[in-house]
Structure 1
Amino acid sequence: KGAADTASTSATVYNLDKTAPVMTATPANAGTTSLTSPFVTLDFAEKVTIDKATFDGVDVKASLVTTDDQKWIYRAADLALGTHTIVAKATDLAGNASAETTSTFSVVARADFALALVAGWNAVSVPANPVTPDIDSVFTNTAIDVAIAYDAQNPASPWRIATRNPSTGLFVSTTERSLTDVRQGLGYWVHTDNFQAQKVALQAPPGPGAASPPTVVTIPTGNGWNFVGVVDVSGANTTGASGVTVSNADSYFASVNWSRAYTYNATALQFTPLVKGAAAALNTGAGVWVFVSPQADGSLPAIVP
């Protein structure tokens, strides 16, 4: 009898790809954005050749850019408020052609930031710079009659106070160092006679078409008590209601030598301590009193949120 043939055999396996590519667009279909010059992304999750691409009816195929043939980007510019439509069709490496896919999104006006206030004194801040920082443009609620800032870098004259003139309805500085605008990074005592939230238009984070790059936010400090604001460096919580947690005291004040800090509960009429090491929450809209001491070399670094 002959010996059995024990030689191994091999097989070649082929995958038959008959699935057409599927497009996922950003901004999402039926979604919204407040950016007027957004990047419009067409993601097919596989290598494709673009057969057709139009934006608002205009052929933009030649304007698409990609680094991997999977994700294609169109840079839209100066879009009007309202609905915009991208239509695309692609073919993958196996020759599967997608259906003509339509994705629509809306450009909407950027919402205001709503700073919660209660009748009486409030320790507050804004998480980004106002579009129009003039104090009369920020505190438009006529029930707000006094605003106070504290500048620890000028210990000889730290207070800056502005009161509303009842005749003109405009704020007038009543201290040697005037208070004429409202900025991110600073805390403010604000007195009001009602419970109306103050809506403020804040600057949006730099978009793809920004003329200059984003900057690192720093808050200068002085020796002793500083009255600072809670800045949202992500920009994600600079619209809508205040009171959103964006950091904690230990992270926020990590660049300085701090020992004590307080926010103010305007409803309970009492200061709330932020215990060092307890990761106490810092919320948008809060003004924070923090005690800062010099470093070992005598320097007073800025707070870097």
Structure 2
Amino acid sequence: MVRVRKLTYLIVASVLLSLFAMGVSAEDEVYLEPQNSTVRIGETVDVEIWVNATGFQGGQINLTYNSSCVNITDWVNNSADFEIGYWNSITDGREWILFAANYSETEIPLTGAYKIGTLTIEGLSPGSTELKFSENSSIFDDYGNEITTVKWINGRVDVEPQISTFELSLVDGWNLISIPLELSDTSLDTVFSGASDGDELYAYEDGAWVTATYYSALPGWYGDLTNVELDKGYWYRANTAYTVLLEGVDAGSRSVQIDTGWNLIGYARLSSANLDDLIPDASDGDELYAYDTGWVTATYYSALPGWYGDLGSMEPGKGYWYRANAPFTWDY
């Protein structure tokens, strides 16, 4: 009995060793490399399509995606392995790709992992889209029969907004400012890292001042005010003139609550805009103030209707005092 058990163990061990030596065959699959990608608006990213299968010659791919989010601008077939190739991109959001190895050039059928080709994908608008191997995508053997065991692994492309920069110039003394971009890091230590000793920043919240002061000995900002926010205005008192380089993404459409009385507001765009276009629903007698070495103002008159005064537009990087006679939501 002992000898039989030993013999059984030896046989099992031998079989296992043989399996490990040969390797376990991978499941037939078609996939993207990388499976998930990220691209910014106006830029491109390359995504490869791969097949890993046993006993195949070629195939056809019906790849679909959201054409309002991305655009596939190019396809490069891997002609070294698949001499026969075809690409049809006529229909928005759909790519037809055919590929096959040639008998005269390649040992048929193929087994293993092969790159079919490379897609070039352009980001069009923020969001996400699936790269989906849709109906009628197939892999064929060398007799033209479909290999039905193939697993099709979809992917995804995330489109991020384009990075923009803005130079916020600060003069020696008082500056009424705002942040025109959505920043990834809004801490004062990051945004105003070039501050001078004793520089001060003031925000106006719920009828009270919130402040911070820069101390070079720390170094850094210290006070109740720790971060800057979109849609808010700030007083910055600089001891030395310098330029703040801001890097971020477009803030998009804004919805700002304006309360009755005084509001210290910001302007979250990178281009100037006319007051009549920006704030058409003001109340009669509302006032807007800007400061640039002196005060510049405008008043809203419903009889015109429109804004009248020396201040005719809002500019990126500027902060404003808005005195409202009635609360409203400012959408722009």
TM range (shorter): 0.5 to 0.7
% of aligned pairs identical?
19
Distance 1:38 1:62 in 2: 25
2:211 to 138, 142, 161: 161
**What runs of 5+ residues in structure 2 fail to find an aligned partner?**
1-37, 51-59, 77-86, 92-118, 124-159, 301-305
Aligned to 1:36: 39
- Residue 164 of structure 1: CA displacement? 1.0
3-state SS of paired residue (1:303): strand
Indicate conservation of the 8 Å contact 1:55/1:85, yes or no: no
The residue type equivalent to 2:268 in the other structure is V
1:252 equivalenced with 2:278 (yes/no)? yes
Q: Call closer, same or farther: CA 1:193–1:255 in 2, change over 3 Å.
A: same
Distance 2:42 2:246 in 1: 27
2:238 to 188, 192, 201: 192
Q: Which structure shows the bigger proportion of residues in helix conformation?
A: 2
Q: Call closer, same or farther: CA 1:61–1:115 in 2, change over 3 Å.
A: farther
The residue type equivalent to 2:239 in the other structure is D
Indicate conservation of the 8 Å contact 1:147/1:189, yes or no: yes
Cα distance per residue 1:35-66 (max 9 Å; x no partner): 7255999xxxxxxxxxxxx9555489632458
Q: How many residues align?
A: 206
Aligned to 2:204: 150
3-state SS of paired residue (2:257): coil
Aligned to 1:122: 175
Cα distance per residue 1:141-189 (max 9 Å; x no partner): 12271111112xx23xx2111111232021112xxxx211101110011
- Residue 86 of structure 1: CA displacement? 2.2
**Structure 1-normalised TM-score?**
0.55
Q: Call closer, same or farther: CA 1:61–1:290 in 2, change over 3 Å.
A: farther
The residue type equivalent to 2:215 in the other structure is N
Aligned to 1:226: 263
Distance 1:74 1:228 in 2: 33
The residue type equivalent to 2:324 in the other structure is V
Aligned to 1:96: none
Point out the structure with max Rg over C-alpha. Answer: 2
- Residue 195 of structure 1: CA displacement? 3.3
Distance 2:297 2:187 in 1: 31
Aligned to 1:139: 192
3-state SS of paired residue (2:190): helix
The residue type equivalent to 1:149 in the other structure is A
Aligned to 1:285: 317
Cα distance per residue 1:65-85 (max 9 Å; x no partner): 58xxxxx67848xxxxxxx97
**What runs of 5+ residues in structure 1 fail to find an aligned partner?**
1-34, 42-53, 67-71, 77-83, 94-101, 206-213, 238-243, 295-299
Distance 1:86 1:171 in 2: 49
Q: How does 1:87-98 map to 2 (within 5 A)?
A: 87=75, 89-90=87-88
Indicate conservation of the 8 Å contact 1:260/1:273, yes or no: yes
Distance 1:219 1:147 in 2: 22
Q: Call closer, same or farther: CA 1:38–1:108 in 2, change over 3 Å.
A: closer
Q: Call closer, same or farther: CA 1:64–1:159 in 2, change over 3 Å.
A: same
Aligned to 2:74: 86
**Structure 2-normalised TM-score?**
0.51
Cα distance per residue 1:117-156 (max 9 Å; x no partner): 22221111012332111121111112271111112xx23x
